[in-house]
A and B are shown apart, each in its own frame.
Chain A
Amino acid sequence: MIVPYTHVILLAALLFWAGMICTVLRRNLIMLLLGLEIMLNAAAVAFVGAGLHLQQIEGQAVALFILAVAAAEVSVGLALIVCIYRQTGTLDPECIESDACELE
């Protein structure tokens, strides 16, 4: 016997919240993508926990798809970030569109 299902979901919820805060509050494109990764991982944890709770293998299949989608997303995202950095010389999301940061 392992722990109750609610504890697994609570752990996933805390991890998702950490990723959300990282995405919203950090002013850095790489940290923003890192927050997305944390959120995807939390979703995978929740799916595996739900699969064990319902005694279904379906949850693990969805977690596998989440893993693959995360790999695709991060490769394209990092390539875009490198492109943006080469063109604008900054990683601050607020400085990309406008020249406000250079005027300061």
Chain B
Amino acid sequence: MSVYSIFFYLIAAVMILSTALAVTRKNMVHAVLFLVISFLASALLFFLLGAPLLGILEVVIYAGAIMVLFLFVVMMIRIRAPEGSGFLLWHYMGAGGLSAVYVAACLLLIRHAGPGTGAAMAAAVAAPADFGQYLFERHWLGIEIVSLLLLVALIGVLHLGLSRAGRRSGKGGAH
């Protein structure tokens, strides 16, 4: 067992534990903070699996931007009533049925795994410069589409915020 595999199992344990804690927390601030730990661990995992650029982007975008956005919204919204925990039976039945289908699909995939999936993988690193060059050579259209998608999301969020503000100011003018 090399030092890499020890690192992998440590990171995997941290990820699973912090994600499980995040999913079960009642307090949403705690859940978001546990999820930040999980995303930092997955950034380490990306470094280990030979994707340093993705690891850095994971820290910047996921742990930095998305989770801070969640934290802002959680702190902005004050929940009056605590989250209802009175689950009906069909909630659990739905979750159990979904999990059963999921586990069955996983077992089927493991049974029909291709050759060489049980052997340890050779380490390889994609240097950020090579990765970026590959991305803009082979996936330039995808990059443009994604940038357009981000622009559309920005305009959509602005519209949602502005329409609400406009309605409120209109209401204030009517009084």
Contacts and interface: CB of A to CB of B under 8 A. Distances in A.
Contacts of B87: 25
Interface in A64-102: 64-65, 67-76, 78-83, 85-86, 89-92, 94
Contact of A28 (B28, B42, B49, B113): B28
B65 to A, nearest CB: 7
Interface string A1-37: 1111111100101110111111011111011011101
A58 B58 CA distance: 17
A5 B12 contact: no
Interface residues of B, number: 84
Contacts of A38: 19, 22-23, 35, 38
Given A11-B12, A21-B99, A27-B83, A49 B49 contact: yes
B92 to A, nearest CB: 8
B56 to A, nearest CB: 11
Nearest to B163: A83
Contacts of A64: 54, 57, 135
Interface residues of A, number: 68
Contacts of A83: 160, 164
A52 B62 contact: no
A33 B57 CA distance: 20
A73 to B, nearest CB: 8
Contact of B156 (A67, A71, A79): A79
A34 B73 contact: no
A34 B19 CA distance: 10
A27 to B, nearest CB: 5
Interface string B55-81: 001100110011001100110110111
Contact of A4 (B16, B57, B76, B121): B121
Interface of B: 2, 4-5, 8-9, 12, 15-16, 19-20, 22-23, 28, 31-32, 35, 38-39, 42, 45-46, 48-51, 53-54, 57-58, 61-62, 65-66, 69-70, 73-74, 76-77, 79-81, 83-85, 87, 91-92, 94-95, 98-99, 102, 106, 110, 113, 116-124, 126, 130-131, 134-135, 138-139, 142, 146, 149-150, 152-154, 156-157, 160-161, 164
